[in-house]
Amino acid sequence: MNNLIDGRAIAAQIQGELAARVAVLKSRGVVPGLAFVRVGEDAASKVYVGRKEKACAELGIISETHVLAEKTSEAELLALIAKLNAAKHLHGILVQAPLPKQIRESVIYSSVLPTKDVDGFHPVNVGKLMLGDESGFKPCTPAGVVELLVRSGVKTDGAEVVVLGRGNIVGKPMAAMLCQKGKSANSTVTICHSATRDIKAHCQRADIIVAALGVAEFLKADMVKPGAVIMDVGVNRVPDATSKTGTKLVGDVDFKNIQPIAGKITPNPGGVGPMTIAMLLQNTVRAAEQSSN
């Protein structure tokens, strides 16, 4: 069935558009710069940062990665961020989650300058998102979902949307973006979570479902009305005896059984994931443009 929303193709399209903007910046003597900060040796974090570094190199964005020991204190990390905030050649700062338990994520995200917060996690940028103020930076994953919907011709105006998950990184900002008054939004949004009564009933009336609960294959075919658009944000590792590693990655959507009835659906991998990186690059280029104006 050709109802797949190809995140890799759309991400490549966006990166092509960004390449032209990077060329304009370089003609003015500005090279976009992005700092990655990783604390500890979390295997997934290493992979994610590696992919982001590669994407930066392909686009002509200078990136530098700072790796701190697992036992690093909150004060030491704050001292590094203060240096990165002051660095003129850096336009964006990304602190890779998760952080070790002795470090409070909220304190760290609040310490990055809002003008360099290309992750969109600073309270100023969160507030701007809630207010519909386009001058802030939006979190990359939900911003990527919106781009996928828009560029796939999905009508959000007046659509019934169910967001599965109320996290600060995807669920809440996703709902805030889609319910704004304006283009590529204007939806009626319901957020469902672990305390929601009868999630199935909510999902069955949705025109668009964004699954971001972090529960492997949570969304089943009997929860989806025919023709609904399904956006799978989940990244879950489950046992798989046929794999070399003994595990495989799956989303929050039972893809095999839902694809035949969905109007459009993102594959996983190859759907939302590549868009998260594309939006990070877009935020970094915009940060460089704003700092040079």
Q: What is the pTM of this model?
A: 0.96
The answer to whether residue 93 sits within a structural domain is yes
Residue 135 falls within a domain, yes or no?
A: no
Region of 287 please: left (phi>0), alpha (psi -120 to 50) or beta.
alpha
Question: Could you tell me the CATH number of the domain that includes residue 253?
Answer: 3.40.50.720
Residue 245 and residue 192 share a domain:
yes
Q: In a 10 Å sphere around its CB, with 0-12 CB exposed, 13-18 middle and 19+ buried, how is residue 288 labelled?
A: buried
Same domain, yes or no, for 145 and 269?
Answer: yes
Tens of pLDDT, residue by residue over 165-195, are: 999 999 999 999 999 998 899 999 999 999 9
Q: Catalytic residues, which ones? A: 52, 96, 119
pLDDT score for 206: 98
Chain centroid to Cα 25, Å, comes to 25
Q: What is the pLDDT of residue 243?
A: 87
Q: Is residue 3 part of a domain?
A: no
Decide if 82 is inside a domain: yes
Q: Tens digits of per-residue pLDDT, 263-287?
A: 999 999 999 999 999 999 999 999 9
Count how many domains the chain has: 2
What is the arithmetic mean of pLDDT over 91-99?
Answer: 96
Q: How confident is the model at residue 81 (pLDDT cuts 50, 70, 90)?
A: very high
Q: In the prediction, which pLDDT does 119 show?
A: 97
- Rounded Cα gap, residues 172 and 226, in angstroms: 26
Q: 149 and 259: one domain?
A: yes
Residues of the domain holding 110 = 29-115
